[in-house]
Structure 1
Amino acid sequence: MSVRLVSTRGGPAVDLPAAILAGLAPDGGLYVPEAWPRLDPADLDAGSGFTAVASAVLELFTSDLLPSPQLERLVGDAFARFDHPEVAPLVELGPDLYLMELFWGPTLAFKDFALQVLGRLVDVALGARGGNAMILGATSGDTGSAAMEAFRDRERVDVVILFPEGRTTEVQRRQMTTIDAPNVHAVAVEGTFDDCQDLVKAVFADPGTRDDLSLSTANSINFGRLITQVAYYYWAAARLGGPVSFAVPSGNFGNVYSGYAATRMGLPVRRLIVGSNAYNVLDGFFRNGRMDLGTVIPTLSPSMDIQVPSNLERLLFDLFRKDGERLVEAMIHLREEGSLTVMGGTDDLFVSRWYDDEDTMAAMREVYRSSGRIVDPHSAVGI
């Protein structure tokens, strides 16, 4: 029996196909499992390749959607487009310090991991249930091109991606605006990523528009994005042996939340280290239980220039003991007052740090000096 998913704001349980086709719950909440399935790392074959690990994770959520052999073919097809035989190779930077390379996908973004699989799962779900869908999303950087590449030329799906004009890198802008496929569209918006994300959420909050267009989303608010990312936490831990700590550069809190999901599924993890740039709302939350929204200022790591990390709502749902009403009140207070205080904290699993652009450049120089490797500003925040 596949996992059932509930809304963080109290909505009824649905199956995975309904959750990935909807993206956002009708009440505006995000989908999370009623109960997390378990995957003992010891049950994975010692020499398993990445696709085998990903299939083992995904099968826990998709067994009602497609049989194991079909899932394995789907996963194999998704990662066949990656340009490294290990898919997510680990590179040693120093004693007990490794860099997991997540840039070998077709758009060079870590989001290729989830979106190449999600595009195929959406195809399967639409084939089983009939109809078409429109993927509406917002991007602060590389989600847009990764989503457009994952869904390009799919007959049942149209894609519309909003991005903040002048606030992505030139490479990211060109990736989004030069994909030659009739079903994908990039739209520049005057404002910030949070403005783009608010527009997307407002459209999803209108039941009539949502139903008329059969809207879904490829942003990390779609639970289908998160489950594939869980796989590379299991993969890295298996390769390195024993419990490890993961330092994750964080913007919308989706990637590091997947690490948290892995711990809920049974993966031993010492620490999840949340790395933030000057948008240090997450650092404030994990240090003292308080979020304060500040001024929007572009940084060298634009994919992380996010004031309101959407996926934090999933963690808050656990911290609030699955009290949807309390969560709604908290999110309203954050939007209206610009701050949120949560007592109780997240025990010792999460730790956090934040770094400004000067710190980021210093880290990039140090990594190059010590290892000869060039890292991007986002990775430098994690390092």
Structure 2
Amino acid sequence: MLYNSTRNSELKVSAAQAITQGISVEGGLFVPEELPKLNDADFEQLIDKSYVERAIVILAKFLTDFSDVEIRYCAENAYTDKKFKSNHIAELSCLLDGTYMLELWHGPTCAFKDMALQILPYLLTTSAKKVAKGKKIVILVATSGDTGKAALEGFKDVPDTQILVFYPEDGVSAMQKRQMTTQEGKNVAVSAIEGNFDDAQTGVKQIFTDPKIVAKLAENNMMFSSANSINWGRLLPQIVYYISTYCELVKDEEIAMGDLVNVVVPTGNFGNILAAYYAKKMGVPIGKLICASNANNVLTDFIKTGTYNKIRDFHTTISPSMDILISSNLERLLYDLCGRDDKKITEWFRQLGETGRYTVDAHVMEKLSESFFAGCCDDEQTKETIKKIFDQYSYLCDTHTAVAVKVAQDYKQETGDDRKMIIVSTASPYKFAPSVLSAVAGQAAEDDYEQLDQLEELSKLEIPKALADLKDKEVRFTGSVKKENMEQVVLAMLGLA
């Protein structure tokens, strides 16, 4: 299988090249030439397998330049009981109304990003040996909170790599910030920026594609790659958990093979819901893909109108990982919906860069509406949902998952669709303890760690050890820079300034 760029369909690279490079030279994102299909025999084979075994089968369909031994090595080392506190890796909790919470936060950093970022270092180092042997891989990351810590933990002390993470100074939770700034490892560096996530993401993309910086790295036997979901190696493992979850529901006799289910995803950068779309195209019986946004509802407006407009107020919310106005992975979806027309994609994203908006054509809008529904909610509605679900089901969800729950309820009320529903739960409630406590108890202690104790007493859920241990860790990274100075910071961190 070869991969094209969304902005150059003539370009063809191997999976190893796509993963190592991260982003195409002209700024496009790598996508497979075609998606593999799963037939009835494939599902019958997958249903009785473990998560790791399912991952091996699915990854092999995309990574055709990897050996069976290499794929098994990557999957078996990523998804272990030492890293994930769930036997199933991706855990399912059933609410009483036919709604299933897909808990993707039982990994080492208590967020769904672990599902991909525990395996990405193995995929990337294996790929680099094929196409960039002897080079140091410099992982450059922009984060709205969870990706940063998950990437830092995944790449910590991985040989021949260095990872640099930028996060918005006032745009992450206290616990997310503490996770990043206390990160251990000799090959890691972290910096805040004076701006929001979109500023960080734009800065990283500009650095990635700056010929002078790329040349400077090449002179020193280095090359950039990414741990953001612009990297195909980040997105591919996310497809696995949607396929695995459907198989698990069939195995548990919650659904029959072939039954349609709806999937609800809280998303800002569109990667998590795009993975569900790809799973659907591969043959997973998914009905509607429901895109849930917070007050930064640029995706909701786009899916409803066909116009993407980033020129709007930016809101700092209690679901900070979704505080995004430029959704990178939407480009991959549009490339698929417009028949892989790279000229259309290039023009739309040129317009976005120059005017802050673009409008897709009627054909793309029709296809978009066939698969997607979108909704949003504000902070007050998010808190109300957290309390309602806790009071009704004794189930505690974080501020991002609550957005998905609220939009799922709105979808059912608006459409009357009574299909069973998978709601993607993206983070432990302990990562956003102040907001969760405010929702269910009305107030929270001032000290971050007293908040964890308070939440444990209230919910009877054990505090994740990874978060409890932060109290005694040294803060290593305290710097903050202006967004226009990110380039100098990168070069200084690499010793190339």
The answer to whether TM tops 0.5 is yes
Is structure 2 residue 146 aligned with structure 1 residue 142? Answer: yes
Which runs of structure 2 are paired with 1:1-383 in the superposition (5 Å)? 3-10=1-8, 12-40=11-39, 42-43=41-42, 44-65=45-66, 67-80=67-80, 81-129=83-131, 130=133, 131-211=135-215, 212=217, 213-241=222-250, 242-293=259-310, 294-344=312-362, 345=365, 346-383=368-405
Higher helix share: 2
- Normalising to structure 2: TM-score of the pair? 0.75
Q: How far off is 1:325 after superposition?
A: 1.8
Runs of 4+ aligned structure 1 residues displaced above 6 Å come to none
User: How far, CA to CA, are the matches of 1:152 and 1:277 in structure 2?
Assistant: 32
The structure whose Rg is larger is 2
1:26–1:207 CA contact under 8 A, matched in 2: no
Q: Which residue identity is paired with 1:132? A: K
- Normalising to structure 1: TM-score of the pair? 0.96
1:237–1:243 CA contact under 8 A, matched in 2: no
User: How far, CA to CA, are the matches of 2:59 and 2:6 in structure 1?
Assistant: 21
Q: What CA deviation, in whole Å up to 9, does each residue of 1:93-124 have, x standing for no partner?
A: 12210101101111111011111111111111
User: How far, CA to CA, are the matches of 1:250 and 1:40 in structure 2?
Assistant: 29
Q: What CA deviation, in whole Å up to 9, does each residue of 1:207-258 have, x standing for no partner?
A: 2322524000100000111111101111111122332111000110000000
Partner-residue secondary structure (3-state), 2:229: coil
Aligned length: 380
Q: How far off is 1:70 after superposition?
A: 3.5
Say what the alpha-carbon RMSD is for the aligned residues.
Answer: 1.3
Q: What CA deviation, in whole Å up to 9, does each residue of 1:166-189 have, x standing for no partner?
A: 210111111111111110111110
User: How far, CA to CA, are the matches of 1:364 and 1:54 in structure 2?
Assistant: 32
Partner-residue secondary structure (3-state), 1:278: coil
User: How far, CA to CA, are the matches of 1:260 and 1:42 in structure 2?
Assistant: 21
2:46–2:247 CA contact under 8 A, matched in 1: no
Partner-residue secondary structure (3-state), 2:47: coil
Assess, with a 3 A threshold, how the Cα gap between structure 1 residues 340 and 17 changes in structure 2: closer, same or farther. same
Assess, with a 3 A threshold, how the Cα gap between structure 1 residues 300 and 258 changes in structure 2: closer, same or farther. same
1:39–1:57 CA contact under 8 A, matched in 2: no
1:57–1:227 CA contact under 8 A, matched in 2: no
1:6–1:13 CA contact under 8 A, matched in 2: yes
Q: How far off is 1:380 after superposition?
A: 0.5
Q: What CA deviation, in whole Å up to 9, does each residue of 1:77-108 have, x standing for no partner?
A: 10102111111111011221010110111111
Unaligned runs of 5+ in 1: none
User: How far, CA to CA, are the matches of 2:64 and 2:347 in structure 1?
Assistant: 35
Partner-residue secondary structure (3-state), 1:167: coil
Partner-residue secondary structure (3-state), 1:239: helix
Partner-residue secondary structure (3-state), 2:185: coil
Q: How far off is 1:35 after superposition?
A: 1.1
Q: Which residue identity is paired with 2:2? A: R
Q: Which residue identity is paired with 2:159? A: E
